[in-house]
Structure 1
Amino acid sequence: MENNPILLPSFLPYGFFTLHDYATGMAVCHAAQNAGVLTQQTSMAPFGFLSAAGATGFMGVPWWQALIRQLEQESGCQYFHALDCGRSVGHAVMACTLGQKNVILQTDSERMAAVRVLYQTRGGHLFSVRPPSFDLTGPLSAKTHLAAYFMRSYCQ
């Protein structure tokens, strides 16, 4: 039996990977191709990418967008992706003005409501809680763990 979130909006992918750099992203793409999850006919990946927590503050919006663009060009498919702005409303607003469609912002409800309106008017999505994601950090063997993930050996 698969453990799928019950209240997952239909526009969201079935899972997320935390993306730290190009090598991590390509490892995910190659593992998905090897598992048959990504094929030549796949235009939109069934999984998405999240930036590292608070990445807007230490890597910036242009870096994130360039990284995603490069992965999309290399793999030939598009990804749902969200940039984590931590608690910074300023970073979330800046990301929106730079064309970022989806962000994660964890702040009080009044500020969240104002920023949510901004994202909704531009066709984006504002997460108030960071979605769960598969993070390839530390001494993990990326190939082994990614293969297990796509073969559904991991609990989801």
Structure 2
Amino acid sequence: MAFLRTSLALAALLAALSGPLSAQEAKVAFGGLAQDTSLPVEVQADMLSVNNADGTAVFEGNVLVGQGEMRLAAARVQVEYGRDGKSIARLHATGGVTIANLADAAEAKEALYTIDTGVIVLTGDVLLTQGSSALSGQKLTIHLKDGTGVMEGRVSTVFVPGGN
């Protein structure tokens, strides 16, 4: 009897979720990726080149970026400085990008992080894992200030009941 009840509950859950499973867009809670965007940004890399003329710096080779609990890893990160020449306005990461915070992690070919707005846009074969559940698509927009986001581009997912 318990098996039947569990099977019916699982069937109802799958029926309720069947629309978003093959949708072009899915809204997802990213509680683990919520972040205080006013915290300092730390960067480590094998090499750094600075261009004062256009206000950019390029970190290359095993780049690791940290802000609070959030970590970003990539082959290359271009930093665009703000008008004051000191604060960071945007980070553009390319080459095997991974962003992780607590139990959530996202992988993509590329990521653009605008510090002031607290928005990260990941593009290119995006894979998000939350606990034992996974969600994939072509573009993931994460709003760090409130921990919400939207996955777009032939969204596909696997839910593991009780896995999170």
Higher gyration radius (CA)? 2
TM-score range, shorter chain: under 0.3
More helix as a share of residues: 1
| TM-score normalized by the length of structure 2 | 0.22
RCO higher in structure (CA 8 A, sep ≥6) = 1
More strand as a share of residues: 2
| TM-score normalized by the length of structure 1 | 0.22
